[in-house]
Amino acid sequence: MARKPNAILPFREKADDRRRLTGEDGPFAPQVSKTKEGLFSMVVCRAITWDTDFARRSKQVFDSYEDLERERTKHKALHPKDAEQESYFCKKNAYGGTAFGRKFENAKEYWDSAIDLEEEWRELTSREKRCAFTECVNFFRPPGDRAGRFKELGPLAAYLLACDVAYAGLCCYPSLGEVAQAVYDNDAGALKGLRYLGLVGSAGERRNRQTIPAIEAGLQEVMKFVIEGYSEKEREEMGFDIICVEHLLCKLSRNHRLLTAA
């Protein structure tokens, strides 16, 4: 279990590399989170280096694309054997499915975008009243913008990044409805988990408008189960919240084999 914390642990905030990322030297720390450097670094970590040895070992905030590139060169010298593999820096299947265009060099465009978007980003994260969760998702991946602001940062990655931003206190937590919408849009692991539990209908009902409320009801059911099963103190210790529910459901289908084999 401890071998692959990101892939298996349902409580995402407890994974050790994740805690590093949200720490004082990470891109979500208050002194950098609203800057272009912070924005660049958080996109890089989600869209490129997630779940890699590079992310675990290197510094977390980069001042430019060149800075990131220098860090890569450093690691190639420091860990010649490990860093030989491109997957040391970028895992194409970090979120399950293989994203074929996911690659280290995308960071170059990310840096340009971070410069262009810095003002908008600062405004979005500096409001007296925190912006809505969905608005944050839309910042990273505007609906209808097919090329996307950040290449290879798809709907799933944009959702996850917005969750990170919510944890950092820079936007609102998602409502149950917003998570349901994301689960619907992504049509990924969480929906499988809900089907596995029998809380939503079969695959044939996918993309049917009827299923968004069904997804919401399913999520509610899972929330209820955990709230009834664990005391507030236990939930507190687990870091349980609405975001966990989605994350937990993703783990469910992936770990199904492991769970039943035990």
Partner DNA sequence: CTCATTGTTGAGGCGTGTCG
Partner DNA sequence: CGACACGCCTCAACAATGAG
Query: Which residues make beta-bridge pairs with 171?
Result: 131
Binding segment (CB under 7 A) for DNA, from list 13-21, 25-33, 98-106, 222-230:
98-106
* Number of helices and strands in the chain (H, E): 13, 0
**Pick 3 or 233: Cβ nearer DNA:** 3
Q: Which of 41, 42, 55 is nearest to 6 (CA)?
A: 55
Q: Tell me the C-alpha distance between 191 and 157, whole Å.
A: 16
Site string for DNA, 168-207 (x = CB under 7 A): -----------------xxxxx--x-------------xx
| Close Cβ partners of 38 (under 8 Å, ≥ 6 residues apart) | 27, 28, 29, 32, 61
| Close Cβ partners of 99 (under 8 Å, ≥ 6 residues apart) | 92, 93, 152, 154
Query: Which residues make beta-bridge pairs with 131?
Result: 171
Does position 153 bind DNA by CB under 7 A? Answer: yes
**24, 30, 59, 97: which one contacts DNA (CB under 7 A)?**
97
**45, 107, 114, 156: which one contacts DNA (CB under 7 A)?**
156
Does position 165 bind DNA by CB under 7 A? Answer: no
**Pick 2 or 147: Cβ nearer DNA:** 147
**13, 37, 152, 178: which one contacts DNA (CB under 7 A)?**
152
**Pick 99 or 114: Cβ nearer DNA:** 99
Binding segment (CB under 7 A) for DNA, from list 34-42, 63-71, 231-239, 250-258:
250-258
**145, 202, 260, 262: which one contacts DNA (CB under 7 A)?**
145
Q: Tell me the C-alpha distance between 245 and 173, whole Å.
A: 13
Instruction: Enter the tokens of residue 120.
Output: 């908008």
Cβ(47)–Cβ(150) under 8 Å?
yes
**Which residues bind to DNA, rule: CB under 7 A?**
86-87, 91-93, 95-102, 143-148, 151-157, 185-189, 192, 206-209, 253-254, 257
